[in-house]
């Protein structure tokens, strides 16, 4: 819905009644007069939270009729009728010439009006279902259904009567059911024939005696031995190399020496500002000199500048840099080492820098 709503209750009197004597009427049909329909079921911050708000957009013809009816009923009562049902009657305070309306009504009225807004006709489903339901029955079933009261579904499901013929069954006698079984003689157990004893040939006896004398037995490779010999121990998993050290995020960025003197005209620094990138250092006399990271910790980073770099920071020909974290947030310590300085010794210059 558009945001430019004109509230029905604001243009009409706040007192809402269901019937009024000698009140003008304006009737709408939701299929032809409403181009948009919305229903606000709950509004906690409304003056009447139990009321239902119907939000509609009128067609051009409906808007013209609403403007004419509200103009003719200025200072009088006007009854709003939707789909043949009187929704509310209120006193007109101004002409309603807008396509958007918000209509406040009770929950009972909204419940009775909702089926018509949805395009549903009461009783249509039940009548259509009764006309569409086919009834197929044989002659006995139809007779039973006509004798049963209307609406009884059991009569339509009744089956035709089945005639059951009973016959007397004479059980057979015991003598007739017994069948004589000839007696078979028991089988005679036979003793198994003795297995023939193989006698080794003289030549085989000689070969066996020779193997026993030398304690050598020929080896015959079985399937298990062949499989075991082909098994190769799996190679040890490759260990990924450790990543090279990198400049941490807390050390990167643009830094200014804390001894800078503020000025209303310009920013005056006692030292050179330094910018640390991931692989280069930049200053006034140091044009992005590339470096390699020698050590990277949570509290300290050591950088080695390239041999051919000409980097001068705060008057020091830089060969190495050390960046250390401090207890103060947003501040670091930068130590400048020349070529002759020991990295584990005192630097040529050192200072506290703040983030720019």
Decide if pLDDT at 51 tops 70. Answer: yes
Span 41-58, average pLDDT: 83
Angle at 294 between CA 290 and CA 300, to 5 degrees: 105
pLDDT, tens digit (0-9, with 9 covering 90-100), for 238-286 = 888 888 999 999 999 999 998 655 555 554 556 789 999 999 999 988 8
Give buried/exposed letters for 2-25 (b at 16+ CB in 10 A, else e).
Answer: eeeeeebbebbeeebeeebeebee
Is it the case that residue 119 has pLDDT exceeding 70?
A: yes
Q: How far is CA 158 from CA 129, 135, 144, 149, 162, in A?
A: 21, 12, 7, 14, 12
Average pLDDT over the chain, rounded to whole? 74
Query: How is residue 10 written in tokens?
Result: 């604001």
Q: Is the pLDDT of residue 23 over 50?
A: yes
Q: Collapse the DSSP code of 35 into the 3-class scheme (helix H, G, I; strand E, B; otherwise coil) and give the result.
A: strand
Domain 6-117 has CATH 1.10.405: no
Phi, psi (5° rounding) for residue 62?
-65, -35
What is the rounded distance in angstroms from the CA atom of residue 28 to the CA atom of residue 96?
15
Element (DSSP H or E) covering residue 320: strand 320-325
Asked if 144 contacts 161 with a C-beta cutoff of 8 angstroms, the reply is: no
Tell me, yes or no, if the two domains 6-117 and 249-355 fold the same way.
Answer: no
Residue linked to tokens 């209307």: 150
Q: Give the closest residue to 324 by CA, choosing from 316, 315, 342, 336.
A: 336
Domain ranges of the chain: 6-117, 249-355
* % of the chain with per-residue pLDDT over 90: 30
pLDDT at 178 over 60: no
More confident residue, 70 or 182: 70
Q: Tell me: the pLDDT tens digits for 190-232? A: 666 666 555 555 666 677 677 666 555 455 555 555 555 556 7
- pTM assigned to the model: 0.34
> Are 314 and 284 within 8 A, CB to CB?
no
Closest C-alpha among 248, 257, 253 to residue 333:
257
**Could you tell me the fold of the domain covering 249-355?**
Lipocalin (2.40.128)
């Amino acid at each position: 819905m558009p945001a430019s709503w004109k509230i029905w209750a604001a243009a009409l009197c706040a007192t809402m009644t269901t019937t009024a004597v000698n009140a003008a009427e304006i009737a709408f049909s939701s299929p032809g007069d409403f181009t948009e329909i919305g229903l606000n079921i709950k509004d906690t911050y409304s003056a009447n939270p139990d009321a239902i708000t119907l939000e509609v957009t009128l067609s051009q013809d409906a808007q013209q009729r609403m403007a004419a009816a509200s103009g003719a009923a200025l200072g009088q009562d006007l009854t709003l009728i939707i789909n043949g049902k009187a929704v509310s009657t209120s006193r007109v305070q101004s002409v309603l010439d807008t396509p958007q309306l918000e209509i406040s009504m009770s929950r009972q009225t909204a419940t009775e009006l909702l089926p018509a807004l949805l395009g549903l006709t009461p009783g249509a489903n039940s009548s259509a279902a009764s006309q569409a339901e086919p009834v197929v029955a044989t002659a006995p079933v139809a007779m039973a259904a006509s004798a049963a009261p209307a609406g009884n579904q059991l009569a339509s499901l009744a089956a035709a009567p089945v005639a059951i013929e009973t016959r007397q069954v004479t059980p057979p006698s015991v003598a007739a059911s017994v069948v004589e079984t000839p007696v078979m003689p028991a089988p005679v157990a036979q003793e198994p024939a003795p297995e023939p004893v193989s006698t080794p040939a003289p030549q085989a006896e000689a070969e066996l005696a020779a193997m026993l004398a030398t304690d050598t037995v020929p080896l015959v490779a079985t399937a298990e031995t062949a499989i075991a010999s082909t098994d190769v121990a799996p190679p040890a998993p490759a260990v990924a190399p450790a990543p090279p050290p990198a400049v941490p995020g807390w050390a990167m960025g643009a830094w200014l020496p804390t001894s800078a003197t503020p000025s209303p005209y310009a920013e005056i620094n006692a030292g050179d500002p330094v910018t640390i990138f991931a692989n280069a250092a930049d200053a006034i006399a140091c044009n992005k000199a590339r470096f390699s990271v020698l050590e990277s910790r949570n509290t300290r980073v050591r950088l080695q500048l390239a041999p051919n770099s000409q980097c001068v920071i705060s008057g020091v020909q830089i060969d190495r840099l050390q960046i250390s974290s401090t207890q103060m947030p947003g501040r670091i310590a930068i130590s400048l080492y020349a070529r002759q300085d020991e990295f584990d010794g005192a630097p040529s210059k050192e200072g506290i820098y703040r983030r720019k």
